[in-house]
Structure formats: structure tokens, C-alpha cells
């Protein structure tokens, strides 16, 4: 069984697609970095800065020297075993702080090969533990970071032999928008822990002239997942329903 697991990991590394989401104070984006050893991520944590703010005018040699001097550490935590595929949170601590400042989500795809699929350097809020969650017949890895007022970084990943897919909930918001009454706007988020058991996502409605939340009326979008693709099954509007704003 161990040899089969190794073959699977080597296959994942060779043919799969591993896009990475980067969230930094300057915005971030999506890229596709190569796999690295675990030491690459953990030895000198500040070198993993994606904002460009660490020693910006330094040569590579100067950056390495600065990173060696900084008091920093990492904490690797297993999030889930998806079959033979281990998924980890890697938390970054700087300056002796007890709360992590950055987080990476790593997937081990070989004996010492790790793919980073998510990297967060928060502007507001903080990084949290990632989690495994069931959504219909699919097992997902979820992250909910940077929770601040009514904003957050919330992503759900399907990880398997073809690599990683981040679920796109655009079809949910498009379907809900069609039922929004004139003069109101929708506000909501996926909240997978609450909504995946029912595979239905409620969307709250507000009157922007009055407040930013807590209006009456809910559009509920029932969904299913088709190999990582979010498919809208049914959409309903109840103007008397209360959205769970908290």
C-alpha cells in the first residue's frame, strides 16, 4: 500500500494542476509556482514574503542575510488526509509573537515535494486553522481567514488526482441576483460550515439607503457539485425571511 501511495503522489506531481491563491495587503492574485521541499518554506520564513516589503532593495544575498537574523518560526499542522494526499497548514510567526501572522496551505505531492495552493498575509483580521468539510458527495478543504467586519478570505478547494480546484460560486451570485427586488442589493457569503450540510446558500437583501445589513428577505440558492463545478439546482425568494447576519 505504501508503494501505491508513493506512485500516486509522484503522479500528482507530474501531471496535475496546482494554481495558488495569494492574498497580501496589496491585493494578491493567482499564480502557479513549482513544488518545493518543506525546508524551502520553513528554514527562513521571511523569504516567503509575497508583498515585496521585506528588504525590497536588497540583493538576494542581502535578503538571505536579513532573513537569517530575524526571530521567526513556523508551525506545520496536518489539516486532513485526502486518501493518500496529506494537506497541511503552515503558520508563520515573527518577532516572538504568539499569534501567527501568515499562513500557507500546503499539499504534499511527493516524498519531499510540497505545493503551496494558498498563501495569506492579512491586512485585517487574522489567519485561522483550515478545515475539512463534506459538501454533498465531495470532501473539501476550506479556509476562512481575515474575518473583519463583513469581509473575509473564504475559499474551498477540491484536491484530487487532477490537482486542486478552487470552487467558483459565481453561478450562485448570478442566480440570486435575478431574484433581487428593485432598489435592494444582496449581501452574503458561502459559510460552508453552516450551509454545505443542506447544500443551499442563503443570500441576504438590504436597502443600501438605510443600512449595510439586517434587512428582510432572503434568496436561497440550492446547489450541487459536479467534479468541483458549482451547479445551481433551484433558486427561491422569500421576502419575509430573516437572513442569519451573525
H, E, C per residue of 115-151: EEEEEECCCCCCCCCCEEEEECCEEEEEEEEEEECCE
Indicate the pLDDT class of residue 94, thresholds 50, 70 and 90. Answer: very high
Higher pLDDT, 218 or 15: 218
- 236 lies in a domain? yes
β strands within the chain, DSSP E = 20-23, 29-31, 72-82, 85-94, 102-110, 113-120, 131-135, 138-148, 151-160, 163-166, 185-187, 200-206, 216-226, 229-242
- 136 lies in a domain? no
Domain boundary among 92, 108, 123: 123
Domain boundary among 123, 148, 182: 123
- Number of Cβ within 10 Å of residue 244's Cβ equals 12
Domain that holds residue 175: 170-242
- 232 lies in a domain? yes
What was the pLDDT predicted at 55? 87
What was the pLDDT predicted at 3? 44
Residues 105 and 186 in one domain: no
pLDDT tens digit string along 186-223?
Answer: 888 899 999 999 999 999 988 777 666 677 889 999 99
Q: Are 162 and 168 in contact (CB under 8 A)?
A: no
Task: Tell which residue, 5, 228, 207, has the closest CA to residue 108.
Answer: 5
Cα separation, 89 vs 103, whole angstroms = 7
What was the pLDDT predicted at 5? 47
Residues 12 and 114 in one domain: yes
- 47 lies in a domain? yes
Q: Are 65 and 55 in contact (CB under 8 A)?
A: no
User: What is the value of pTM for the model shown?
Assistant: 0.89
- 164 lies in a domain? no
Among 6-10, 90-94, 203-207, 238-242, which stretch is predicted with the lowest mean pLDDT? Answer: 6-10
Number of domains in the chain: 2
pLDDT tens digit string along 123-173?
Answer: 888 999 999 999 999 999 999 999 876 678 999 999 987 899 999 999 999
- 207 lies in a domain? yes
Q: Looking at the predicted structure, is the pLDDT value of residue 4 above 50?
A: no
- Number of Cβ within 10 Å of residue 108's Cβ equals 20
- 145 lies in a domain? no
Amino acid at each position: 500500500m505504501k508503494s501505491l501511495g508513493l506512485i500516486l503522489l509522484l503522479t500528482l506531481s507530474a501531471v496535475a494542476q496546482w494554481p495558488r491563491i495569494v492574498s497580501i495587503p496589496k491585493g494578491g492574485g493567482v499564480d502557479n509556482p513549482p513544488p518545493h521541499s518543506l525546508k524551502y518554506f520553513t528554514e527562513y520564513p521571511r523569504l516567503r514574503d509575497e508583498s515585496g516589503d521585506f528588504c525590497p532593495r536588497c540583493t538576494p544575498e542581502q535578503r538571505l542575510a536579513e532573513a537569517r537574523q530575524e526571530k521567526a518560526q513556523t508551525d506545520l499542522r496536518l489539516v486532513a488526509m485526502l486518501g493518500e494526499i496529506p494537506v497541511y497548514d503552515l503558520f508563520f510567526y515573527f518577532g516572538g509573537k504568539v499569534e501567527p501572522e501568515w499562513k500557507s496551505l500546503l499539499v504534499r505531492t511527493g516524498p519531499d515535494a510540497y505545493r503551496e495552493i494558498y498563501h495569506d498575509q492579512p491586512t485585517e483580521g487574522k489567519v485561522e486553522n483550515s478545515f475539512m468539510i463534506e459538501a454533498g458527495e465531495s470532501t473539501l478543504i476550506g479556509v476562512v481567514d481575515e474575518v473583519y467586519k463583513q469581509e473575509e478570505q473564504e475559499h474551498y478547494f477540491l484536491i484530487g488526482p487532477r490537482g486542486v480546484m478552487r470552487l467558483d460560486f459565481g453561478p450562485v451570485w448570478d442566480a440570486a441576483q435575478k431574484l433581487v427586488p428593485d432598489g435592494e442589493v444582496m449581501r452574503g457569503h458561502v459559510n460552508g460550515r453552516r450551509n454545505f450540510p443542506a447544500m443551499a446558500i442563503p443570500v441576504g437583501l438590504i436597502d443600501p439607503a438605510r443600512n449595510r445589513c439586517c434587512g428582510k428577505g432572503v434568496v436561497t440558492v440550492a446547489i450541487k457539485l459536479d467534479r468541483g463545478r458549482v451547479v445551481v439546482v433551484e433558486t427561491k425568494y422569500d421576502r419575509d425571511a430573516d437572513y442569519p447576519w451573525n
